Amino acid sequence: LPWLELASIPDAKLHPADLCTRFWMRLREAHVTLSGHSVVRARQILGEPLDLPGAFRLPDHLQVTLLLNQAELAALATDRRSLKSVEAELTERGMNGEAALARALLADLDGNRRLAADHFDTAAQQARWSQPMTRGVALVGRAELLHELGDVDAAAEHLQQVAIETEVRQNALPFLGWTRQGTPVQTMLGRLPALRPHRWVSRISAGIADMSSLTTYFDQGTPRPTEAVDEAAGPLPGLSARERDVLRELARGSTYADISAALYVSENTVKTHVSSLYAKLGASRRSQALAVARSLNLI
């Protein structure tokens, strides 16, 4: 995923006392993992202790980066409980604008467009830290929701403002689509001709034209909190290459006839692979098998 700019930083040997670089390399590891389509593993990486000495605490500018990354991953995983936990910690630390971003993502998950738009507005106005890009993500999120609610002019104004603020660093992260209830950014850029003359907007539009939003991109392969599987239950199931092919087709919603045509095998052979697949995953139906497969990062 081209927007994960930390993924481009080369590996480096770290001095044990270089805590700041260790932090950023941990974040890089999570971003690289996310680029491999694994929200689950990226969340695990950010949740692992950083092994800090004694009573040492992360300074606020690193702590807010960690918390907001956790909030965004929780939103991609539709994990409301974790989002609420991050929001509470940000509020406790006096990071009210950043906490509002977490509340906005939560309201969006709950389908409340107007409330989410209001929280995004608060986040944009009150964010204390320029990095991570709370203000940019908030303004674009608000634009997506306002456009969906019919306020096209306000949506265009927000997008224009974010384009101006992100052009220097050439960071398109805010434009990648963080809402489920709003109009996709790709759609908005195509419908707002006044934005097109802006060179940076044109680059963004061209770069994301063939991409789905982040929420859509990660939805299929990310288990919901209710689909979690106990990792201590045993080793990963050993799927054959053909079973993995069948699993991917099932995840796409293919019928047995579709799978038969795609893999050049008979429908009876497909049924045999599906039965074996279900047995290995401990499932009795497609939805259950896909839930288990997602939780184990098999799709």
Convert the pLDDT of each residue in 178-216 to its tens digit: 899 999 998 888 777 677 667 888 888 888 887 778 888
Which is nearest to 21 in space by CA: 55, 73, 62, 71? 62
* Cα→Cα distances 29→10, 15, 52, 53, 60, Å: 11, 17, 18, 21, 21
Distance of CA 114 to the CA centre of its chain: 22
pLDDT at 164 over 80: yes
Task: Quote the pLDDT of residue 179.
Answer: 94
CATH number of 5-219: 1.25.40
Residue 49 corresponds to which tokens in the numbers above? 């202790």
Question: Would you call the peptide bond into 223 cis, given omega within 30 degrees of 0 as the criterion?
Answer: no
Q: Hey, where are the domains in the chain? A: 5-219, 225-295
b/e 75-90 (16+ beta carbons within 10 angstroms → b): bbbbbeebbebbbebb
CA 214 to CA 164: how far, in whole Å?
22
When the pLDDT of each residue in the chain is averaged and rounded to a whole number, the result is 83
Considering the domain 225-295, what is its CATH architecture?
A: Orthogonal Bundle (1.10)
- Equal fold, 5-219 vs 225-295: no
- Say if residues 98 and 134 touch (Cβ distance below 8 Å): yes
| pTM of the model as a whole | 0.73
pLDDT at 6 (0 to 100): 44
Contact 267, 257 (CB under 8 A): yes
C-alpha–C-alpha distance, residues 98 and 113, integer Å:
19
What's the pLDDT tens digit per position in 223-244?
A: 677 665 444 444 556 778 788 8
- What is the average per-residue pLDDT within 261-266? 89
